[in-house]
């Protein structure tokens, strides 16, 4: 068992203060194993989540609950050449990755 990050969910409370997330198109950069991705999806966001580490992206895909599968897409990519068109997202989140 690894360490648990933010079991108190302070992160979710802080992100909710930014605004509503339901239906918001989000690009998450540096998703890692998808910890924050799932929190964004549970708040209703539609998330494209990228990370340059293919093994982490595989782990994130394996851990994606079925009920969020239509709102989350994981891709292997880095921040310096994003695989998305201009103006595609309402929000971009650097997830401990800038």
Partner 1 sequence: MVHALTEARRVLRPDGLLLDVRPAAVHRRVHLVHGAETRLLGVMRERFLDERASDRAVAAVLRSGLFTRVSRSAYPCNRVARRFVDFRAWLEGFAALQDLPSHAWLLRRVERALEGVSGPARIVVSAPVDLWVLRNGLR
CB of 62 to partner 1, least distance (A): 20
Nearer to partner 1, 10 or 67 (CB): 10
Binding site for partner 1 (CB under 8 A): 1-8, 10-11, 13-15, 17-19, 27, 29, 36, 79-82, 84-98
Q: Which is nearer to partner 1, 73 or 89 (CB)?
A: 89
Rounded (10°) angle between helices 35-42 and 10-18: 50
Nearest to 95 by CA among 45, 33, 24: 33
How many angstroms separate the CA atoms of 51 and 67, rounded?
22
């Amino acid at each position: 068992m690894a360490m648990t990050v933010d079991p108190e969910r302070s992160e979710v409370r802080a992100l909710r203060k930014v605004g509503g997330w339901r239906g918001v198109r989000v690009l998450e950069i540096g998703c890692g194993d998808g910890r924050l991705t799932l929190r964004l999806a549970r708040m209703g966001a539609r998330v494209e989540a990228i990370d340059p580490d293919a093994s982490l992206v595989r782990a994130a895909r394996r851990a994606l609950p079925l009920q969020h599968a239509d709102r989350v897409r994981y891709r292997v990519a880095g921040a310096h050449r994003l695989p998305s068109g201009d103006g595609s997202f309402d929000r971009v989140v650097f997830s401990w990755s800038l």
